Each structure stands twice: as structure tokens, then as C-alpha cells.
Amino acid sequence: MQLTGAEILIRCLQEEGVDYVFGYPGGAVLNIYDELFKQNKVKHVLVRHEQGALHAADGYSRSSQKVGVALVTSGPGVTNAVTGIATAYMDSIPMVVITGQVPTNAIGQDAFQECDTVGITRPCVKHNFLVKDVRDLAVTVKKAFYLATTGRPGPVLVDIPKDVSQALAEYSYPKTVTLRSYNPVTKGHAGQIKKAVQLLLEAKRPMVYTGGGVVLNDAAESLTRLVRLLGFPCTNTLMGLGGFPATDPQFTGMLGMHGTYESNMAMQNCDVLLAVGARFDDRVIGNPAHFYRADRKIIHIDIDPSSISKRVKVDVPIVGYVRDVLDEMVKIVESSPARPDAAPLKSWWAQIKEWQRKDCLRYDRDSKLIKPQLVVEKLYEITGGDAFITSDVGQHQMWAAQYYKFDKPRRWINSGGLGTMGFGLPAAMGVQLANPHAPVVCVTGEASIQMCIQELSTCKQYHLPIKVVNLNNRYMGMVRQWQEFFYGNRYAESYMDALPDFVKLAEAYGHVGMKIEKPGDVEGALREAFAQKERLVFLDFITDQTENVFPMVPGGKGLTEMILAEEL
Amino acid sequence: MRHILSILVENEAGALSRISGLFSARGYNIESLTVAPTEDPTMSRMTIVTSGSDDVVEQITKQLNKLVEVVKVVDLTEGNHIERELMLVKVRAAGKDRDEMKRLADIFRGRILDVTDKSYTIELTGTGSKLDAFLQAIEPGVILETVRTGASGIGRGERILRI
């Protein structure tokens, strides 16, 4: 039987087990929306701006291991979606983005709502397709899901002209698909793995540093087993939080620009570094020349060969799925009597404990103003460390990462690579839909939240009981912090004048709003908010305007050249 | 250092812009780029001449391999190879210069493809440096127009690039 392109697309999505499509209709996707309307397997979530659709699909994927799917129209639908696509691309999130396009005969004619979607999105997708013949549609969708989820994951875009979604073709969905030009190396080299284990067993001052790759590849358990087996210290990147339990005594906290003193010192002073699913980026290791000055051997496990020796030369590269490689390492260690030399490991731990005594995350707990750190700590206590936390970008993001202890992967959802303000709220929508009974919190600031605040309306429509924790310091805090440190206190355009009354705003959208101004009220307000299980509660915490994020490695400096709170 | 990369790529719309876009996005140099379909019409072969340190060229190769439409990448300069480039050059050839120009074209094993009473159009093939040498050998004032294809390359002997 012949089906239209739109019917074929919806059948494909059903075949892929897609529960939710996040999108926004428009002229070029009307055929597709009409087919969505006629069925109920694939549910559609109507956002208020295409950026929100992409972030919601992204949050859905990050919190569930499934592919996030978004559907937007041509032209402005696509350009609005670009920020969300680039966000997912930088953090390697598996997504399939369906875009409408003007009819094939109008392409290139500067038609209404036409843009070169494939051209505009090319640098920020893993791959993209323009489907010009309806007979290619099913196999293209199959390829898109295959590419998005294998190797290093990422967003894949399928651009469908309106006449293609209307045209008829025989439908059959391929069970598998192969591309002769796409064969990612997925199995780590056995010899290299042995060499790596040998190096780890001989280490005197070992350090394990893991990133988003561990979370994405569901390798947290394997990593935890290996690290505990070896007794080594472990740090996570911003993207890697939850990859190793934060409450484990072997965890030294996040590393990097706002990482803990002990993690950064250990990174610099270790003799063997095991890097897993991480990419040594500038916010993590600071100045690469400074980082490289230290004499240490580096083992790097990653699915993407181009991540290896990109910024830092490594000694033992292993390309493959990190979970399989870690499992293999565990097997080798378990089957061998050799263990790391206890004496040097003990003195290394003593050194780390010494660094920990700096208590680098200390802050003024007796302040009369609400300290943002306190809000996150209370949030952690009240949710038992088990909530899904999304964030936007800036100081609040760092405080959430520093003070909420993530014991499980996929609980911490943030835009690490691209650093997209406006990510938190729509991402939380996706997280809540993927985890309907779990507490979902969006930790944000008064600047970030306004970048996608329109999604409060979507939350109302779909009854998403997200808790928005707004750390309101009336500044773009991170910008203000840099201006204070590096621009002589000249706060150029970082003060937010004329802020809305967030309580009234939340109420106007049909939600509950609360304003909290005293430290003593923080815990009570949070408890009250979480007691409202069915409602979205917007908690507007009026926090200390002058609070800064510490420790801090200034841009371009070495990882150990940290500014600590006590030094100011 | 100068490197010649040979790339087998799916003969699909957009593949070229993915590759050229990669070079501009990551700040890599392209000295020349040539592309044409191979004996298998579904596949094109591209030759890119680039320059950079070994680390940079290693990254370029890895990034190219990461592109979904790229089938294979080889750095020809890693081994023995042959490099050829075609140049068409139109020169003024009048009066006493006319014989001299013919002689020079012969020395460089060029062929004169088109003749008017005032000009020659000469075809030259060789490595890029040979073509440069020819242009340097003639007086700059007599060059009316040049067009070069950019280098194509192939491995010597048993070095074969195919799938």
C-alpha cells in the first residue's frame, strides 16, 4: 500500500519507539502535523518557541537514554532551533530533528519561510539530510536514528520538503542500515587496554578524570567498579557529574575552572592520569601548556578518535565505547593478583586529604542574606540527592554542580559545551516527561530564566510540576564576577534593571510563585514547594548580590593557579 | 609542512561543503582542492593540499574521517607518491618573444594548445613547484592569464586507495 511522506515519517517514528515529539507547527510541516493528529502513539508536545522544543527533546534524551525528537517548520522554525541543535551537538546528545522545507521546486527561489537548513545546521549536527524523493524517506529516517545513537552520539537533522511529505510511496521500514562511509571504532584495542591497566597498577599518584562520555555510554557502574577496585581518587567534569557517586569518599569533587582545589591539584600532580569520556577542554584543564608541564602518563579512553591528542598529547590512547573498555579493565584487574602499591597510594591520599583541608567550598553560613550555596545545599537535603536537576548557565550552574551531590548519572542536566542560557526550563520539561514521577528541579538565575520563560506556558498545558529555583541576585552573576575580577569593577550591562515580579509572573502563567528573602525561610519554602506535587512552583530566592563562585581558575591560567575565597 | 590528503567521499550533494566547511570552521589551511567522480560514479576522490604541523595534520585527518560521507582518508605525503597539476597559461607571444616562448614551453615539456598572432596558450603538467618554476622563468609582463587545477596525487607502486 502506498503512503504519503507524512504517514511514512510517523510510521518510522512509531517503529523507533518514539513516545514524544517536541515541536511547533508551521506551513512546511502541516502535512506531518495532520498525520500526527490522526494517531496517538507518538505524542506531541507543543512548545512556545522552537528553541524550547530542542532543549526539551535534549533534556528528554539526557535523562532517559532515549533519542530526543523535535519537529519544527522551515525558515524561522529552523533558525530558532539552531541554538538547541548546537547545544545538543556540543554535548553529544542523540537527537533526531525533523524540519519542514519549502517544496522542492521552490528551493533556491527565496520562497516564503525558506532557508538553507542543511547549510545553516551543517556545522552543528553530526549529520544532516535533505530528502528530495519520498522513496528515500524511510531509509533516511532509519539512518538518522542509527547515526544519532552510534559512535559518538549527536543530533541528526532530516529536512523534508512539503511536496515530499505529500507524495506517495511504498512503505517499508528497514530493520538495519549500514553506511560504507561510517564505521566508528567501538571496541577498544586489547593490547592498549592491557598496557593501560599495567600503567594504572604501577601508578604511585594516580588520578581518574571522567566526563560526559561515561554518562552517555551508561558506564557509571563500570567506572565505579574499577575506581573502587583500584582505590584511586576520582574527579568528574561538569558534564560527567553522577558518573561516579559524589558521596563516595574516593570522589574529590568536580574539576576545572570552578572545580575543587583538591581535584585540580591532583590532576596536576598525579603521575598517571586515566581520562575517560572527557576531552581536556579549556574549562577543564585551563592552559594546556601549563597542564602539560607536569610529568605524568596519560591514558585516554574515548569513542571519538579526534578527541584524543587534540588539546593534550596522551601516552595510551584507547578508542572505543568507554563502558566496554572499563569492563575489560575491571576483568583484567580482577583476574590478576597485582594491586597498586599500597604505600605510595596511601601517601598520595594523605596529600589529597591535605588539599581537602583547604575546604575550598566553604562559604559564610551566618550571612543575613541568602547565600546561593545554601539554597542548593538545602535543595540537596530535601530531595535526598535524588532529584533531576537541570540548570541554565552562569553562577547558579556552578553552585548547583558544586553543592548538589550527584550519586547517579543522568540526574544533572546542563549545557556544558555550548553554555546556553535558556536551556534549563525547557530541558526540565523533557526530563519531567521522561520521568513523570520524579522530582525535577530547574536551578536558574533571573537572567537565564528569562531567555526561555515562555515555556512556563507549556508546563501549564502539560501539567509539569517542575520546581524552578531562581537564584535571583539581580545580576548576570558570572559576567559580574568577571567584571569584578578582571575589569576593575566596571559592571557593563550586567545589571538587570526592571526585573519582573516573578511571583506574579508565575501566577499569570497559572503556577505557584514564592518569594524568599531570608536565609531562615529557605528550607521551609523548599519543603512547601515540594509538598505541592501537582504544581509547578517558581521559587524566587533573593540572594546575596556580591557572592562569587570559588575556586576559580582565571581564563588562560594553569589549572593550579586558582583564586580561592580566602584569598580575597 | 605541506601535506597532500587523498579523500574518498560519497558523491553526494553537500559533501564538498561539509569538507570545505570543516577546514574553515577549524581554521585549517587549504592550499588547493580538487575533486571529481571516480570509476565508481557513487564515489568522488578529492585531493587537498594543506599545511600544518604533524599534530594539526593528524587532527585534520581525524576530523575528516569523522564526517559521515567521508569513506577514506590517506596522507599521500607519508609515503612515495606522484603529484601532478595541470596549468593553462596564456602568454603574449609577439615579435622576438615568440620564438623564445616556444623554446621555453618545450624545455618545460609544455604543449601549445591555441595560437593567435599575438599569443600562445600553453598546457603544462607537473608538480606544483615545476609549474611555479615555469611562471618564474618567463617575464611576468607577458603572462596574460593563468589557470591551475590544484594538485592531484596517487601513491606509488602497491600503495592503493580504494574501498
Burial (Cβ within 10 Å: 0-12, 13-18, ≥19) of residue B148: middle
Q: What is the pLDDT of residue B97?
A: 83
To test the contact with chain B by mutation, choose from A306, A313, A314 the residue with the greatest count of B C-beta atoms within 10 A, namely A306
- Taking residues B132-152, what's their average pLDDT? 95
Cβ distance A122 to B18 less than 8 Å, yes or no, reads yes
β-pairing, B111-115 vs B119-126, is antiparallel
pLDDT at A108 over 80: yes
Q: What is the pLDDT of residue A568?
A: 55
- Give dist(CA A169, CA A155) in Å, integer: 27
Give the orientation angle of helix A395-403 with respect to helix A372-383, to 10 degrees.
40
Chain A residue numbers touching B58 (CB-CB < 8 A): 309
- Give dist(CA A210, CA A275) in Å, integer: 6
- Taking residues B128-143, what's their average pLDDT? 94
Q: B37 in contact with A at a CB cutoff of 8 Å?
A: no
Collapsing DSSP to helix, strand or coil, A408 comes out as coil
CA distance A305 to chain B (A): 7
- Give dist(CA A220, CA A210) in Å, integer: 10
Chain A residue numbers touching B10 (CB-CB < 8 A): 181
Collapsing DSSP to helix, strand or coil, A101 comes out as strand
Mind listing the pLDDT tens digit for each residue in A323-354? 999 999 999 999 999 999 999 999 999 999 99
- Give dist(CA A563, CA A551) in Å, integer: 6
Residue-averaged pLDDT of chain A: 97
3-state secondary structure A361-381: CCCCCCCCCECHHHHHHHHHH
Q: What is the pLDDT of residue A496?
A: 78
Residue A359 makes CB contacts below 8 A (sequence gap 6+) with none
* Residues A409, A389 contacting (CB under 8 angstroms): no
Q: A183 in contact with B at a CB cutoff of 8 Å?
A: no
Q: Count CA within 13 A, CB hemisphere, residue A241.
A: 28
Cβ distance A306 to B13 less than 8 Å, yes or no, reads no
Mind listing the pLDDT tens digit for each residue in A5-31? 999 999 999 999 999 999 999 999 999
Percent of chain A residues topping a pLDDT of 70: 100
* Residues A404, A412 contacting (CB under 8 angstroms): yes
Mind listing the pLDDT tens digit for each residue in B4-56? 999 999 999 899 999 999 999 999 999 999 999 999 999 999 999 999 999 99
Confidence of residue A134 (pLDDT cuts 50, 70, 90): very high
Residue A92 makes CB contacts below 8 A (sequence gap 6+) with A152, A153, A154, A212, A213, A216
Mind listing the pLDDT tens digit for each residue in A286-336? 999 999 888 999 999 999 999 999 999 999 999 999 999 999 999 999 999
Q: What is the pLDDT of residue A283?
A: 93
Q: What is the pLDDT of residue A566?
A: 73
Cβ distance B9 to A181 less than 8 Å, yes or no, reads yes
Distances (CA, A) of A276 to A218, A234, A273, A307: 12, 11, 10, 11
Confidence of residue A453 (pLDDT cuts 50, 70, 90): very high
Collapsing DSSP to helix, strand or coil, A551 comes out as coil
Q: Residues 309..348 of A with a Cβ closer than 8 Å to B: which?
A: 309-310, 313
- Give dist(CA A439, CA A532) in Å, integer: 11
* Closest to A162 in 3D by CA, of A48, A9, A1, A2: A9
Burial (Cβ within 10 Å: 0-12, 13-18, ≥19) of residue A269: middle
pLDDT at A245 over 90: yes
Q: B5 in contact with A at a CB cutoff of 8 Å?
A: no
pLDDT at A567 over 70: no
Cβ distance B17 to A122 less than 8 Å, yes or no, reads yes
Mind listing the pLDDT tens digit for each residue in A29-83? 999 999 999 999 999 999 999 999 999 999 999 999 999 999 999 999 999 999 9
Which residue type does A440 have? Answer: V
Mind listing the pLDDT tens digit for each residue in B69-88? 999 999 999 999 999 999 99
Query: How many CB atoms within 10 Å of residue A49?
Result: 20
Query: How many CB atoms within 10 Å of residue A70?
Result: 32
Residue A366 makes CB contacts below 8 A (sequence gap 6+) with none
- Give dist(CA A554, CA A79) in Å, integer: 33
pLDDT at A437 over 70: yes
Known catalytic residues of A are 50, 112-113, 162, 478
Mind listing the pLDDT tens digit for each residue in A385-399? 999 999 999 999 999
Collapsing DSSP to helix, strand or coil, B73 comes out as strand
Q: What is the pLDDT of residue B33?
A: 97
Phi, psi of A208 (to 5 degrees): -115, 130
Confidence of residue A89 (pLDDT cuts 50, 70, 90): very high
Q: B76 in contact with A at a CB cutoff of 8 Å?
A: no
Q: Residues 289..308 of A with a Cβ closer than 8 Å to B: which?
A: 304-306
